[in-house]
Amino acid sequence: MPNKKTLLEKLGGPDAINQMSAEAKADALETLLQEELNRSLAPDARDAKRRLPTAAEVEAQIETRHHRLGVGNLFYAGKQHVRKLPPMPEKPTLADFFRLRFHKTAHHVLQSANLAQKNGMPEEVILACLLHDLSQELIHVEHGWWSAQMFEPYVSEKTTFAIRYHQALRFYADEAAGYHYPELYLELFGEDYKPEPYIEATYQMVRKHKWYSLPRLVTVNDLYSFEPGVVVNLEQFTDILGRNFKQPPEGLGFDNTPVAHIWRSLIWPDHPL
């Protein structure tokens, strides 16, 4: 994990950080860590010099940009041009999406699932870790909710629950579970920081829920899954996916579920209509 000073500087320093909402700061931090990880695994990548805009730049640029900051990875390439995407197979599987579409998020979620597996987590938690941030290829805002939704027809209710609520739980420590409030959040948000009311209400609901431990364990195995140079392959999870992921025979995007459009949007992000 990059050192704290570097991360704070890259987010724009204390004054700039103060201007961002807490959700935006946490999301910016997660994106920055993912970028750092991807860069460490592809040091010659052409985006080696990219960095996150600072908080002050974000504020100042809202009305000067042609996109919103929450736009997903596939739809925006910063100062680069987007590239032509390889075609997908006719009946694409989850593995095809990992290979051909989840370029920015794959390393991090694979590391997270690897950590969960090493820590002896139940399969539904390992699977949740493997899927928890993948909607960020489509959209960055509310990524816990979006990710849960896109996988809902294919995984157990427990896994969906774990994915959806990891976003809110990251703001709340649970020492007994092994989740310490991130030191960086103290610096980013201040000691007396209170999350948005909807996040607080979600936390209160989840805290009392019988499945609380599931999203909590995603946060435990999430935060530190940005280890430079560690490559984890999807094949490591073939058995777990076989037992816990209902791959539709028609292919993701063509199975007529209420989320098929999400998968088609990832297959054809350049379709105008």
Nearer to Fe ion, 103 or 264 (CB): 103
DSSP string across 36-87: HHHHHH-TT-TTTT--PPPHHHHHHHGGG-SS-TTB-GGG--TTSPP-PPPP
**Which range of residues in 42-50, 59-67, 221-229, 256-264 is near Fe ion by CB under 5 A?**
221-229
From residue 210, how far is each of 21, 154, 168, 207 by CA, in Å? 31, 22, 17, 8
Residues 61-120 that bind Fe ion (CB under 5 A): none
Nearer to Fe ion, 70 or 254 (CB): 70
**Which range of residues in 128-136, 182-190, 227-235, 250-258 is near Fe ion by CB under 5 A?**
128-136
- CB 268, min distance to Fe ion, A: 25
Nearer to Fe ion, 124 or 133 (CB): 133
Give the closest residue to 133 by CA, choosing from 100, 162, 173: 162
- CB 250, min distance to Fe ion, A: 29
Q: Does residue number 222 form part of the binding site for Fe ion (CB under 5 A)?
A: yes
Which residues make beta-bridge pairs with 139?
Answer: 71
- CB 129, min distance to Fe ion, A: 8
Q: What is the per-residue binding string for Fe ion in 11-30, x denoting contact by CB under 5 A?
A: --------------------
How many residues contact Fe ion, by CB under 5 A?
2
Q: Does residue number 133 form part of the binding site for Fe ion (CB under 5 A)?
A: yes
- CB 160, min distance to Fe ion, A: 15
Q: Which residues contact 107 (CB under 8 A, 6 or more apart)?
A: 34, 37, 38, 41, 231, 232
SS3 of 155-196: the string is CCHHHHHHHHHHHHHCCCCEHHHCECCCHHHHHHHCCCCCCC
Residues 177-216 that bind Fe ion (CB under 5 A): none
- CB 180, min distance to Fe ion, A: 16
Q: Does residue number 35 form part of the binding site for Fe ion (CB under 5 A)?
A: no
Question: DSSP label at 88?
Answer: P
Q: Which residues contact 162 (CB under 8 A, 6 or more apart)?
A: 124, 125, 128, 132, 211, 214, 215, 217, 218
Nearer to Fe ion, 30 or 123 (CB): 30
Q: Does residue number 137 form part of the binding site for Fe ion (CB under 5 A)?
A: no
Asked if 33 and 226 count as a contact pair (C-beta separation under 8 A), the reply is yes
Distance CA 19, CA 15 (A): 7
- CB 227, min distance to Fe ion, A: 13
- CB 135, min distance to Fe ion, A: 9
Q: Which residues in this chain contact Fe ion in the complex, by CB under 5 A? A: 133, 222
